A and B are shown apart, each in its own frame.
Chain A
Amino acid sequence: MKWFWYASPQTFYPLAGRIARWCAPAAALLAAAGLYIGFFVAPTDAQQGEAYRIIFIHVPAAWMSMFIYVVMAFWSALCLALNTRLSGMMAAALAPTGALFTFIALWTGALWGKPTWGTYWVWDARLTSELILLFLYLGFIALRAAIDDPRRADRAAALLAIVGVVNVPIIYYSVQWWNTLHQGASVSLTRAPSMAATMLSGMLVMALAFWMYSIAASMLRVRAIIRERA
């Protein structure tokens, strides 16, 4: 890979278009497969009945919300360290999609909490730190919008993104560090998943779909940013 060749917005522009054209249909196909598994293959849960089917969007959306933030902070760090133009644009292109998935994770979590915990919302560690993540995304977007010079806006917002990345491990470990209503991780790299294989596969296919969607959306957005700044 010619990394520095693609570090220029003008040379990255056509590549971003090609990536978006591949990822968008992949996202649609994976979502269709994931929804089929989620609604027609995965069995009814013994304890939660059909309410558990929210898992197929809730968990992938929550994963994306945290992962996109880490990627955004990575580009922000490059923006401050190397002062490359594309890194700031990439961070800016990721923020709205990240905020969207954070909102989806919170919304579906609320609608899942009501039938299982008896409440839409509770101020416990997992929920509160995820809400802070939403505010960090919105703060990042608002700060960029508030500064007229795009290069200065990139650098100011990059600093906020880097400081805020400390919240991501707090979200992830909140269920271990504090007593919380939220259950622990059902899927982890170190032990066997504590759920039926069809439920797990539906969730992973939906996670892949959200991945492809996020890549396509951020590539389309970075193209728009490149065009608008040219």
Chain B
Amino acid sequence: MSEFLNMGGYAWYVWGSYGVTFLCLVVEITVLLKREAKT
């Protein structure tokens, strides 16, 4: 498991990419659903 998370020493680059992408999509979905609820 920790070997998987370590990504062969590239953890910051790989998880930094996936993490920010995930965060971006979550933010967009949240904004859209809030807009959906409001109007």
What residues make up the interface of A, taking CB atoms closer than 8 Å to B?
39, 44, 49-51, 53-54, 57-58, 61, 96-97, 100, 103-104, 107-108, 111-112, 114-115, 213, 217, 220-221, 223-224, 227-228
Contact = CB atoms under 8 A, between A and B. Distances in A.
B9 A104 contact: no
B8 A58 contact: no
B14 A53 contact: yes
Contacts of B16: 111
Interface of B: 4, 7-10, 12-14, 16-18, 20-21, 24-25, 28-29, 32, 35-36, 39
Q: Which 7 A-B pairs have the closest CB atoms?
A: A50-B8, A108-B17, A51-B10, A50-B7, A49-B8, A111-B13, A224-B35
B17 A57 contact: yes
Nearest to B27: A100
A51 B14 contact: yes
Contact of B28 (A51, A54, A96, A115): A96
B20 A107 contact: yes
A213 to B, nearest CB: 7
Contacts of A50: 7-10, 14
B10 to A, nearest CB: 4
A49 to B, nearest CB: 4
B22 to A, nearest CB: 9
B29 A217 contact: yes
Contacts of A107: 17, 20-21
Main secondary structure of the interface of A (DSSP, over half): helix
Contacts of A100: 24-25, 28
B32 A54 contact: no
Nearest to B14: A53
Contacts of A39: 4
A98 to B, nearest CB: 11
B35 to A, nearest CB: 5
Contacts of B17: 54, 57-58, 107-108, 111-112
B39 A227 contact: yes
11 contacts: A44-B8, A49-B9, A50-B8, A50-B14, A51-B14, A107-B21, A108-B17, A111-B16, A114-B13, A221-B32, A227-B39
Nearest to A114: B13
